[in-house]
Amino acid sequence: MTTAWRGAWRRLAGSPWLFAGPAVAAAILFVWLPMASTLGLSFFDWSLLRQEATWRGLDHYRGTLANPDFHLALVNTGVYLAALLPLQVGIPLVLAFALVRVKAKATGRLYRTALFAPSVLSFPVAAVVWLWLFNPTVGFLNTLGGAVGLPPQRWLTDPDIAIWSVIIVAFWKSFGLNLLIFLAALANVPTDVTEAARIDGASPLRQAIDIELPLISPALFFAVVTTIIVVLDEIVGAVDVLTEGGPYRTSSNLLYFLYERGFRHFQFGEAAAVAVLIAAIVAGVTWAQFRFGERHVHYD
Amino acid sequence: MRFRHGSQIVLHIAFIVACLATLFPLVWMLRTAFAPPHDVFRATMSLWPENATLANFTAAFRLHPVGTWFVNSVVVAGAITFGKLAVSVPAAFAFAVMSFRGRDAVFALVVGTMTVPYVITLLPTYVAVASIGLYDTLTGVVVPAIGHCGFVVFFLRQAFKALPRELFEAARIDGAGPWRQMLTIALPNIWGAVAAMAVLSFLGAWNLYLWPHLILDSTEHKTLSIGLKLFATTGEQGGDWGPLMATALLAALPVVLLYLMAQRQLVSAFATSGIR
């Protein structure tokens, strides 16, 4: 090989694009391109079998927005959010504040390990474990309830209760992540700040609320985002295993509605419109969070 | 923190109660998995069955191809982890230490995937996978999942950036090309970050639900996560709870063990994902 060739080869092999190219290609091919296609698909009727498209304009959006099942899914998603946001942010926050005040550090780590354990499981595994606890005849919950004189509940088939059962499972399976986020943030709070407050005679509660809470507000903000992701996205694994959205769609949510339209009824155009609407809601909530965050979150 | 001795005791009691409550469903899964069949259908509150047995595990393997599901899960999670790292490590290296035109734009393109809810990619990806004949194959599940590597690239770039530049200067003077610099100099210094991302990717891939559920159709191609749903819904009336809990235990075991072994790396990875 001549030196010129070798030089060219070396330049090619050392090109930054050879390093970054595969990741860029994967991001475009599997994220950005499908995202654009979903938007396009939502304006068409499209069948996987015939592979032909008919222009429908905004019909799928109109149809979806007028669909009572969609309304129910939307309202349920609101219920999931309204229940899980305070639970998933509040309880881990209290646990984190308490955990950093445990003086025996090794024991504290043990608590953290135990509290985070369910969070490494998948939603279907968590759901199956609870499916058994919820069993109306021999499940543990009704056995326990019976022992203290409570009537047995139909945890997953009573329309008034089913969604709350899914909420319990979702909380159990995912509060640990927010706990870790808060603990990491609290570990970064400089000790001289809390020390100064302590010397000034602030009670532990005042220290937590007046000093630590503002300092970890970015983490608080992020915990809200992770919870929204759980509700709009991951929870579908629990819904599908526990209730299949039932009874009478009372525990369905937006993603489950999309799954039904797209993959049970194969209405791809309509499902694409639902996907766009979900993404718009996620984007809207995130944007609102950022707007709110900019004014109230203390980044430092 | 100023807490008197007594309040420390209250704190410990509260945490012990919280931990027991959190772990209880897992204990109950274990108990049922090892309980003899007649014991499962007894309404009971005893924490451990008399005559613990492995019968539920053999029954699970008889009822469904649980062994195949387990292997499929390992293959899918392993391949996604490997694929993500294979594209992310060089990309992160390029974004961290090389300078080239369009770098920042391309970096935004890759890391921006973190902000895209995967719901909106689901349908076209499904159609594409189906139309190139990868429906109902593990390859069809694995390949598109590699595209969601934004966080891995972001995290590894931070790790590469933290290395001193002199490290690379010295190597360059010695005539090492960028690939050698990455593999022999940079990578050995950031093994902790790579391990954290490997564990995080493996956990995420092991726990995937909707995507493999859409792509994998035949019983023997399923992964454990989606096989569980099949198992839970096809049991006779009354359900095969013992074998089902044995299968759930098999699905939980690898990730729980991984978590216990790599807890430090995982916590740092999750914590960063929170600060980002």
Flag if B203 and A35 touch (Cβ within 8 Å): no
Q: Under an 8 A CB cutoff, do A144 and B116 touch? A: no
pLDDT of residue A212: 85
Residue A178 burial by Cβ neighbours in a 10 Å radius (0-12, 13-18, 19+): buried
Count Cβ atoms below 10 Å from residue A12 Cβ, excluding itself: 10
DSSP state of B55: H
Asked if B11 and A101 come within 8 Å (Cβ–Cβ), the reply is yes
CA pair distance B29, A129, nearest whole angstrom: 6
pTM for this structure?
Answer: 0.89
Residues A128, B177: C-beta atoms closer than 8 Å: no
Structural tokens at position A121:
């499981």
pLDDT in tens, chain A (300 residues): 567 777 787 777 888 999 999 999 999 999 999 999 999 999 998 877 777 788 988 999 999 999 999 999 999 999 999 999 999 999 999 999 999 989 898 999 999 999 999 999 999 999 999 999 999 888 899 999 988 999 999 999 999 999 999 999 999 999 998 998 899 888 888 878 777 887 887 787 888 888 888 888 888 888 887 788 888 888 888 999 999 888 888 889 999 999 999 998 888 999 999 999 998 888 887 777 667 665 555 554
β-pair partners for A54? A45
pLDDT of residue A298: 52
* Candidate from A115, A219, A262 with C-beta closest to B123: A262
Show the tokens assigned to A176: 């640990």
Q: Which DSSP state fits B4? A: -
Instruction: Give the integer Cα–Cα distance in Å for A269 and A267.
Output: 6
> Are B207 and A138 in contact (CB < 8 Å)?
no
Q: A160 vs chain B: nearest CA distance in angstroms?
A: 22
List A53's β-bridge partners, or say none.
A46
Residue B236 CA to residue B172 CA, distance in Å, equals 67
**Per-residue pLDDT of chain B in tens (276 residues, 90 and over written 9):** 445 567 899 999 999 999 999 999 999 999 999 998 888 777 777 888 888 889 999 999 999 999 999 999 999 999 999 999 999 999 999 999 998 999 999 999 999 888 788 889 999 999 999 989 999 999 999 999 999 999 899 999 999 998 988 888 888 888 888 898 999 889 999 988 899 899 889 988 998 899 999 999 999 999 999 999 888 877 554 568 999 999 999 999 999 999 898 888 777 776 665 443
Structural contact between residues A272 and B113, judged by C-beta atoms closer than 8 angstroms = no
Does the N-terminal peptide bond of residue A247 adopt cis geometry, omega within 30 degrees of 0?
A: yes
b/e A275-295 (16+ beta carbons within 10 angstroms → b) = bbbbbebbeeebeebeeebee
Q: How far is CA A298 from CA A219, B73, B240, in A?
A: 10, 42, 52
What integer pLDDT is reported at residue A290 of this predicted model?
67
Structure tokens at B38: 């007649």
Contact A30 B109 (CB under 8 A): no
Which residues are within 8 A (CB) of B135 and not within 5 positions of it... i.e. 6 or more apart? B129, B215, B217
Q: Which one of B19, B149, B182 has the shortest CB-CB distance to A26?
A: B149
Cβ atoms of B19 and A114 closer than 8 Å: yes
Q: In chain A, which residues have their Cβ closer than 8 Å to the Cβ of B214? A: 263
Q: What is the least distance, in Å, from the CA of B117 to any CA of chain A?
A: 6
Length of chain A: 300
Q: In 3-state terms, what secondary structure has residue B169?
A: helix
CA–chain centroid gap for B166, Å, is 36
Task: List, in order of start, the domains of chain B with CATH numbers.
Answer: 5-53 (no CATH), 64-275 (1.10.3720.10)
Residue B271 pLDDT: 65
Neighbours of B205 (CB within 10 A): 24
Contacts (Cβ under 8 Å, ≥6 apart) of A141: A133, A134, A153, A155
| CA distance linking residue B41 with residue B20, whole number of Å | 24
* Nearest partner of A186 among A212, A218, A152, judged by Cα: A212
For B19, the closest of A20, A38, A115 (CB atoms) is A115
A266: Cβ contacts below 8 Å, ≥ 6 apart: A47, A48
SS3 assignment, position A45 = strand
- Å from B185 to nearest chain A CA? 16
Name all domains of chain A by residue range, CATH numbers in brackets: 3-41 (no CATH), 59-296 (1.10.3720.10)
Question: How far, in Å, CA of A208 to CA of A106, rounded?
Answer: 22
Q: What is the dihedral angle through the alpha carbons of A164, A166, A172, A176, rounded to the nearest 10 degrees? A: -110
Best residue in B12, B98, B99, B119 to probe A by mutation, most A CBs within 10 Å? B119
The angle subtended at Cα A123 by Cα B221 and Cα A281, nearest 5°, is 110
Q: Where are the alpha helices (DSSP H) in B162-235?
A: 166-173, 178-180, 187-189, 191-206, 210-215, 224-234
Question: In the prediction, which pLDDT does A226 show?
Answer: 79
Rounded Cα distance, B225 and B205, in Å:
10
Q: How long, in residues, is chain B?
A: 276
Q: Please give, rounded to a whole number of angstroms, the shortest distance from the CA of B22 to a CA of chain A.
A: 6
